[in-house]
């Protein structure tokens, strides 16, 4: 078993910083009404360096949000195995750990993964229906429709395989796992949390829009233009 205290000091420091970030970001899930009770989870990759293996930090299973602290965040290998990280033995990683681990193993560009059961996005997942790109903010963030991934059960890496298979050929940072709920990815955990918030926002807005008729999907060339601008021009780039 990998023992955190035996890894280089720089790795231990990186893990400590990641634990703090992941803990802080979990507060965004209830604040944005994306979860209830103990559901949902955020994870972030700890890159390999100094010969140490790649790791990731994730929420412990079944622990309420008001009881979370950096010290109880669980550190795992990319095989989804908890390392000896100093946390109590009874603190096991999230039941979605295998899915997060699979994504990290197969999508090197992903540094953060989030799973929620947010009401409106999960309602679309319950219908097995993609969210159509009918809003400019959706084109900006997701580059098109938010797709539906296959139905899969928790317990192994089936959900992770579905996430990777669905998003590998998509610009979307979100996938609605059929009759389960949304998973989002990002370059780090903060970006994945942002995608989760945005996913719920567009799911809710388009749900209400459909009460008055079927909204028209934005033409693909316009989606492409909006996505290119938002990803490469919008905001503060290059420190300017």
Which CATH number is 179's domain given?
Answer: 3.40.225.10
Reported as half-sphere exposure (CB side, CA atoms, 13 A), residue 42 has a value of 30
215, part of any domain: yes
pLDDT for 235 beyond 90: no
What is the overall mean pLDDT for the chain?
96
pLDDT for 4 beyond 60: yes
238, part of any domain: no
Helices marked H in 35-108: 97-106
Q: What is the mean pLDDT of residues 25-40?
A: 98
239, part of any domain: no
Q: What is the mean pLDDT of residues 128-135?
A: 98
Selected catalytic residue, list 24, 140, 188, 224: 140
| 45-76 pLDDT per residue, tens | 999 988 899 999 999 999 999 999 999 999 99
Whether 224 is catalytic: no
Q: How many residues are listed for the chain in this entry?
A: 240
Element (H, E) at 125: helix 119-127
| 85-112 pLDDT per residue, tens | 999 989 999 999 999 999 999 999 999 9
Q: What is the mean pLDDT of residues 106-133?
A: 98
Number of domains in the chain: 1
Spatial separation of the C-alpha atoms in residues 237 and 227, rounded to whole Å: 15
240, part of any domain: no
pLDDT given for residue 155 in this prediction: 85
| 141-182 pLDDT per residue, tens | 999 999 999 999 998 899 999 999 999 989 999 999 999 999
Spatial separation of the C-alpha atoms in residues 8 and 6, rounded to whole Å: 7
237, part of any domain: no
pLDDT given for residue 240 in this prediction: 37
pLDDT for 238 beyond 80: no
104, part of any domain: yes
Domain containing residue 178: 4-232
117, 35 in Cβ contact below 8 A?
yes
- pTM here is 0.96
Selected catalytic residue, list 79, 84, 156, 234: 234
78, part of any domain: yes
Spatial separation of the C-alpha atoms in residues 16 and 24, rounded to whole Å: 12
Whether 140 is catalytic: yes
């Amino acid at each position: 078993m990998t023992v955190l205290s035996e890894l280089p000091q720089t790795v231990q420091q990186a893990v400590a910083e990641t634990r703090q970030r992941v803990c802080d970001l979990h507060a965004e899930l209830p604040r944005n009404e994306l979860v209830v009770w103990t559901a949902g989870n955020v994870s972030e990759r700890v890159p390999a360096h100094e010969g140490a293996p790649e790791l990731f930090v994730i929420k412990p299973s079944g622990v309420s949000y008001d009881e979370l602290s950096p010290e109880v965040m669980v550190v795992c290998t990319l095989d989804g195995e908890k390392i000896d990280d100093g946390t109590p033995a009874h603190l096991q990683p999230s039941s979605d750990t295998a899915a997060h681990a699979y994504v990290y193993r197969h999508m090197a560009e992903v540094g953060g993964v989030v799973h929620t059961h947010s009401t409106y996005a999960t309602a679309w997942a319950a219908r097995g229906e993609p969210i159509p790109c009918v809003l400019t903010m959706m084109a900006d963030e997701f580059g098109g429709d938010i797709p539906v991934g296959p139905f899969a059960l928790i317990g192994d890496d089936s959900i992770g395989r579905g996430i990777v298979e669905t998003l590998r050929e998509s610009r979307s940072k979100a996938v609605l796992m059929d009759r389960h709920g949304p998973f989002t990815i990002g370059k780090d955990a903060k970006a994945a949390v942002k995608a989760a918030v945005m996913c719920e926002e567009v799911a809710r807005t388009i749900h209400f829009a459909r009460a008055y008729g079927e909204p028209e999907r934005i033409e693909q060339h316009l989606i492409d233009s909006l996505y290119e601008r938002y990803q490469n021009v919008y905001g503060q780039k290059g420190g300017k």
